[in-house]
Amino acid sequence: MTTIKENDLIDSIADSLQFIAYYHPKDCVQAMAQAYDKEQSNTAKDAIAQILINSRMCAEDRRPICQDTGIVNAFIKVGMDVRWESVRGLDEMVNEGVRRAYLYPGNVLRPSIVSDPIGKRRNTGDNTPAVIYTELIPGDKVRVFITAKGAGSENKAKLAMLNPNDSLVNWVLSTVPKMGAGWCPPGILSIAVGGTAEKAMCMAKEALMEPLNIQKLIKHGAKTALDELRLELYEKVNQLGIGAQGLGGLTTVLDVKVSEYATHTASLPIAMIPNCAATRHINFTLDGSGPAQLELPSLSDWPDITWQPNKSSRHVNLDKVSQTDIEQWQTGEKLLLSGHLLTGRDAVHKCIADAFSRGEKLPENLNFTNRFIYYVGPVSPINGEVVGPAGPTTSTRMDKFTEMMLAKTGLLGMIGKAERSLTAVNAIQKYRSVYLVAVGGSAYLVSKAIKSAKVVAFEELGMEAIREFYVENMPVTVAVNSYGTSIHETGPMKWRQNITGIPL
Ligand code: SF4
């Protein structure tokens, strides 16, 4: 019988969540570096370079890889010979660890969890509660698998109850393109087959934390039918040409996981969950000897790559840019933005729409005329930072407000990540606006371009408040030009055609 003290679990959870906020797993860095080496699309290669440079900077400075520091998922496997020295229940201990991690003053993480999700959606302030799964296993140890899952990738989770004779491969290949780029590829696809609806989803989530080993599998060859399926899906998904950030390129997935479980003779449940460029997970074992000791990575684990945006980018002064200027910008063109821009995301757009529907005007100090809005909810700053990591959030959620913003506020353009819906693209074309993308998963790198930040409206919305940023050389790519041409359409289409004959 082993005794585990409550603080050993709480401290281990807190340390793990801080650790994964700034250290990418080594296998993920290596897989990303391989994707960088073989990428032939300049736009996608540029995005992967930013992800890798961001990753190394975060490891050096111990700041979050992404502004979305995730919803905590914990899989806890408790040995049946374990005794707890605690007055708290297991969930309570895990949540205390989450609380301490997210409120740790040396590296405050962004709390993103809201209670009352179909009502007031109030931020709980400390990123609790976690989503916790518990299993009893033989032995006298506690094994913990923990991940901080970003919403961009979590929102793309899919479940289908197929018929037993349906093709799983066809379902995956027709579903992945519909997931768009909001999951910030390149990342990992986890596919679980069998069980029941909820069993398949849980298996898919847990398998996302397995080591990345598809390159070894390619080298040594498949030994089982599941291995063969992984290889087939890896090759065929990458042949879709979606590429980094959905901009078109050779690598959409770094690995594909497939797990299975027995199921009913009339059923074929299939769950698919992607993990993004900001893959964050770790596991540890408690054996009664104290909290987990986490092995620090070496900076030599990161590839030595350079990224020189100045060479090929158009410099844009945001304080002088006009509609005539933006009409010159080509889809796929790289820009370096300098000057002032406003921020805002989901809650702000709803507040603005509600104000207009009540016949009210915007606050006097809030003027969008001829300005750009950046969809972002930054991490709080520490130690003299202007702002914490501040990467783009998924723009698709703002699509239903785009026409309203362009028609009623004088907004010139938008900055975010991932594709826009047809409705939003039509509005961009109608108002001769433009949509730019920054790289999801490079939040700390982006924050270095932000030289000042102040809240200008809706302060009560916390990280979602409207801020004015002054930026210098903020790197973005033109995703939808003023004529409605979208790189998320043209990029993957071009690379799907190019890819034939290129070994993946
Ligand atoms: S990389 Fe993208 S999907 Fe992942 S946490 Fe960051 S913004 Fe969300």
Task: Give residue 376 CA to ligand 1 midpoint distance, Å.
Answer: 11
**Cα gap 257→240, rounded to integer Å:** 18
What count of other Cβ atoms lies within 10 Å of the Cβ of residue 118?
A: 5
Nearest-CA residue for atom 5 of ligand 1: 150
- 488 token code pair: 């998320």
Between 384 and 200, the more confident residue is: 200
Nearest-CA residue for atom 1 of ligand 1: 441
pTM passes above 0.85: yes
**DSSP letters spanning 288-321:** SSSS--PPPP-GGGS------HHHH-EEEETTT-
Q: For tokens 């915007």, what's the residue?
A: 362
At 306 the pLDDT is 86
To test the ligand 1 pocket, which listed residue (20, 52, 68, 395) has its Cβ within 8 A of the most ligand atoms?
68
pLDDT at 312 over 90: no
- 35 token code pair: 């994707």
Give every CB contact of residue 20 below 8 A, 6+ residues apart in sequence: 146, 147, 148, 280, 281, 282
- Where does residue 303 rank: exposed (0-12), middle (13-18), buried (19+ CB within 10 A)? middle
**Cα gap 409→348, rounded to integer Å:** 13
Amino acid letter at 146? I
At 41 the pLDDT is 96
Rg of the chain over all Cα atoms, to the nearest angstrom: 23
pLDDT band, residue 310 (cuts 50/70/90): confident
- Where does residue 415 rank: exposed (0-12), middle (13-18), buried (19+ CB within 10 A)? buried
Pairing of strands 413-416, 334-343: unpaired
Residue by residue, what is the 3-state secondary structure of 93-162? HHHHHHHHHHCCHHHCCCCCCEECCCCCCEECCCCCCCEEEEEEECCCCEEEEEEEECHHHHCCCEEEEE
pLDDT tens-digit map of 222-262: 999 999 999 999 999 999 999 999 999 999 999 999 999 99
At 201 the pLDDT is 98
pLDDT tens-digit map of 184-194: 999 999 999 99
Q: Is the CB of 32 under 6 A from ligand 1?
A: no
Establish whether the linkage from the previous residue to 177 is cis, with ω within 30° of 0.
Answer: no
Task: Give residue 477 CA to ligand 1 midpoint distance, Å.
Answer: 18
Task: Give residue 392 CA to ligand 1 midpoint distance, Å.
Answer: 8
- 437 token code pair: 């993308």
**Cα gap 47→476, rounded to integer Å:** 10
Q: Is the CB of 68 under 6 A from ligand 1?
A: yes
At 307 the pLDDT is 85
Q: What percent of the chain has pLDDT over 70?
A: 99
Amino acid letter at 452? S
Give the residue-averaged pLDDT of 117-126: 94
Q: For helices 399-408 and 346-357, what crossing angle results, to 10°?
A: 50
Nearest CA among 14, 29, 10, 7 for reference residue 106:
14
Q: Is the CB of 186 under 6 A from ligand 1?
A: no
Backbone torsions φ then ψ of 383, nearest 5 degrees: 45, 50
- 456 token code pair: 């200008």
At 433 the pLDDT is 98
Nearest-CA residue for atom 7 of ligand 1: 440
Half-sphere CA count of 144, side-chain side, radius 13 A: 31
**Cα gap 187→153, rounded to integer Å:** 9
Amino acid letter at 498? N
Number of the ligand 1 atom closest to the C-alpha atom of 68:
5
Q: Is the CB of 439 under 6 A from ligand 1?
A: no
At 490 the pLDDT is 96
Which residue spans within 328-440 are E strands per DSSP?
334-343, 372-374, 413-416, 434-437
Residue by residue, what is the 3-state secondary structure of 383-415? CCCCCCCCCCCEHHHHHHHHHHHHHHCCCCEEE
Half-sphere CA count of 432, side-chain side, radius 13 A: 8
In three-state secondary structure terms, 237 is helix
At 309 the pLDDT is 80
pLDDT at 462 over 80: yes
Half-sphere CA count of 51, side-chain side, radius 13 A: 29
Q: For tokens 């969540």, what's the residue?
A: 17
Task: Give residue 277 CA to ligand 1 midpoint distance, Å.
Answer: 7
- 150 token code pair: 């970003």
At 503 the pLDDT is 60
At 504 the pLDDT is 57
Largest CA distance in the chain: 74
**Cα gap 252→15, rounded to integer Å:** 31
pLDDT tens-digit map of 313-348: 999 999 999 999 999 999 999 999 999 999 999 999
pLDDT at 501 over 80: no
**Cα gap 21→30, rounded to integer Å:** 18
**DSSP letters spanning 10-59:** HHHHHHHHHHHHH---HHHHHHHHHHHHH---HHHHHHHHHHHHHHHHHH
Mean pLDDT of the chain: 96
Number of the ligand 1 atom closest to the C-alpha atom of 153:
3
Amino acid letter at 164? P
Backbone torsions φ then ψ of 222, nearest 5 degrees: -75, 140
Q: Is the CB of 50 under 6 A from ligand 1?
A: no
